[in-house]
Amino acid sequence: MSINLTVTPAAERFIKRMVRFSGLPDTDAAGFRLTVTAGGCSGYNSEFTVEAAPLEGDQAVDINGVKLFLPAESRLMLEGVTMDFADTPTKSGLTFFNPNAAACACSSSGEGSSPTPPAVSKIEITSIKTSPRVTS
């Protein structure tokens, strides 16, 4: 099963950097595990880790040389999505854009506030989870 997910060059660089500096002994076999679930303002709650191999139920997907380990629910949620990486002076993280999702109405109730762009989700660097290291 393939997935229609676009990974921008900025997101590719970020993911490759995360895998390379993960501390895992075999970074050629390692991958970026991305878990996306429903929820949140933009429709996404997300977490990621770098894993030595896919976990049970994950599918390894290679997009432009980026190895992603995606659970089934994440594959469904990411269909047709563009994943980017933004780095600003105040925030750094992955951003997801789903052109088919409805806009968030959270900011529409306040005076003078501008609406949030449709279906944009950000994952901050601080949400990175570390997987337990297995040593022998």
Q: Which domains does the chain have, with CATH numbers?
A: 6-127 (2.60.300.12)
Give the range among 40-44, 84-88, 106-110 with minimum mean pLDDT: 106-110
Stretch 105-114: mean pLDDT, rounded? 46
Instruction: Quote the pLDDT of residue 7.
Output: 94
- CB under 8 Å to 31, separation ≥6 — which residues? 19, 50, 51, 53, 54, 60, 67, 68, 69
Interval 42-51: pLDDT, tens: 567 779 999 9
pTM of full prediction above 0.85: no
Q: Percent of the chain at pLDDT above 90?
A: 43
In the chain, the N- to C-terminal Cα span, in Å, equals 35
State the DSSP code for 15: H
